[in-house]
Structure 1
């Protein structure tokens, strides 16, 4: 088969690498790679290419970067590749029906959840945030809806109690790459059938925002701890005390109660900073001060100024939007 790949971030690059390797051992061919336009990023605002583009160029694969497919020329250019299949992984664009219909076998998607649960932009983080015990990969035949197409293959992966958004991302990226290769072979040999999604079971994984990463200390300690793990390593949960913004990388729930107001520091020692929340307490174990690196609280408290900042009785504030 002639295959077009469309994707942008590291998650997609894992699938592209697996596809390139597989094509070297078969008669399949990646004829082009589509990815988001180069963008300015970082403190220096330097223009950088996506991980998918870098990988494609390293393998001498043609790269296309349309802003969208509203321009007729972009759709005609896609058709000129005469692709049998288009593989879409975290591309970042909703594809119009005209694009979905261009390859002979249509477009398939590698999605980081067990559809129909967690359709949308942030399925990995939302699964951790709400306390799901498992996630996985769904290979889906794409239609005009958002992650609504018929399912071709699924693979399940458990979510560990210590799972972070970053660790689950890496596990699912590897799993998605492996499942994609299986799907390609099954499609080529007409050995795959589609299962329609049950819309009544669907949930939506809204895009992450920095604003929602601000810790609400009146929330339950359990939910705050899950959110801290889910948003590690982006956008990272934050807290504020005496005007200073603190990034919270790790924490643990302490099954105890207190009459102190939410956000009050009950104790700060080498084990962590114990904070009052709703229903239980939360022990912050790894923090990052502004202009500094992430470190364990036991090391953070070596500085007298930090001991004073996180002293018993001090209170974390609500962060204004």
Structure 2
């Protein structure tokens, strides 16, 4: 079976790696991002790809920066048949891409050429797309710009979050990759160039993008929090304090209140947004506390809020 250098970091990459192993491919190395400190206690945590690789007794490489590293030279000298990447998180030097015998292939979580970049799944939700998917593509020096071998689309359901889409696409990506690699080997795979006129970029999410603002409609606010769930999460500033919103729903009713006001705090916790739209908050996390259902939040906060009062800062 063909040899592969696998490169991936988050949970998205794990089904792909395990699928390659189960199919019998010779995994020469697993390259992933360095361990990092996570959470309030700053506990050193292995990447999901590293955990999977260790379970499978595969050699792991974790260069801080691949380009110019000793690890890069070792990987180049392996002259594997394929490089396969699935959300690795670093650019790959051209000399590394050129070191493989057959092809360097990427499992990308979008329907290219839409959403090139590091956050395609997040942007598909934030922008309210009806579909997303996976593209198996040839890797080139330019980011996510290579020719496409295969694509598969799925519908985005109303309850989907970035977390649920990541999980769905990881398995779809695995299966599509395993269908595609043999075709690349025997020469039956066809490559389709991307239409440059339809390119859309999805750069990494910034801190500023995490904030829900009153300029948004309820639907836009809901799309944002779905797109940023489970990481890093979206928040609004309520009476000077950060309030993370993990789950909400767009209400059926509308309001004449200005955006950012309490519409209801009895049977629900409803906030007005742009164009008279209303968002029902369902799961919240006040600063310094754990996630909680809105009912628990209101039990301790209801007396502080008055219907008609503006509590969300612009």
TM over 0.5: yes
Aligned to 2:224: 227
Q: Say if 2:302 is the partner of 1:307.
A: yes
* Counterpart pick for 1:275 among 271, 295, 309: 271
C-alpha displacement at 1:294, in angstroms? 2.0
Give me the whole-angstrom Cα distance separating, in 2, the residues matched to 1:6 and 1:207.
19
C-alpha change, 1:57 and 1:224, in structure 2 (3 Å) is same
Conserved? CA contact 1:239–1:316, under 8 Å: no
Give me the whole-angstrom Cα distance separating, in 2, the residues matched to 1:4 and 1:134.
31
Gaps of at least 5 residues in structure 2 are none
Aligned pair count? 312
Give me the whole-angstrom Cα distance separating, in 2, the residues matched to 1:287 and 1:266.
17
Q: Say if 2:250 is the partner of 1:253.
A: yes
Q: Say if 2:295 is the partner of 1:298.
A: yes
C-alpha displacement at 1:180, in angstroms? 1.5
Q: Say if 2:67 is the partner of 1:70.
A: yes
Give me the whole-angstrom Cα distance separating, in 2, the residues matched to 1:92 and 1:263.
37
Aligned to 2:240: 243
Aligned to 1:21: 22
Q: Say if 2:94 is the partner of 1:104.
A: no
C-alpha displacement at 1:185, in angstroms? 2.1
SS in 1 for 2:78: coil
Q: Say if 2:137 is the partner of 1:136.
A: no
Where do 1:1-321 residues align within 5 Å?
1-23=2-24, 28-71=25-68, 73-270=70-267, 272-279=268-275, 280-303=277-300, 306-318=301-313
Q: Spell out, residue by residue over 1:120-178, the C-alpha distance to the aligned partner (whole angstroms, 9 max, x if none).
A: 11111101111111111000000011100000011111111221111111111111111
Conserved? CA contact 2:240–2:313, under 8 Å: no
C-alpha displacement at 1:243, in angstroms? 2.5
More displaced 10-residue stretch of structure 1: 14-23 or 239-248: 239-248
Q: Spell out, residue by residue over 1:36-64, the C-alpha distance to the aligned partner (whole angstroms, 9 max, x if none).
A: 12222222222222111111122111111
In angstroms, what is the RMSD of aligned CA positions?
Answer: 1.7
Q: Spell out, residue by residue over 1:187-224, the C-alpha distance to the aligned partner (whole angstroms, 9 max, x if none).
A: 23322111000010110112112321111112222211
SS in 2 for 1:91: coil
Conserved? CA contact 2:66–2:90, under 8 Å: no
C-alpha displacement at 1:78, in angstroms? 1.1
More displaced 10-residue stretch of structure 1: 161-170 or 287-296: 287-296
SS in 2 for 1:118: strand
Q: Spell out, residue by residue over 1:272-319, the C-alpha distance to the aligned partner (whole angstroms, 9 max, x if none).
A: 21111112111212212223332222232233xx11233313322337
Give me the whole-angstrom Cα distance separating, in 2, the residues matched to 1:40 and 1:102.
33
C-alpha displacement at 1:29, in angstroms? 0.8
Q: Taking structure 2 as the reference length, what is the TM-score of the superposition?
A: 0.94
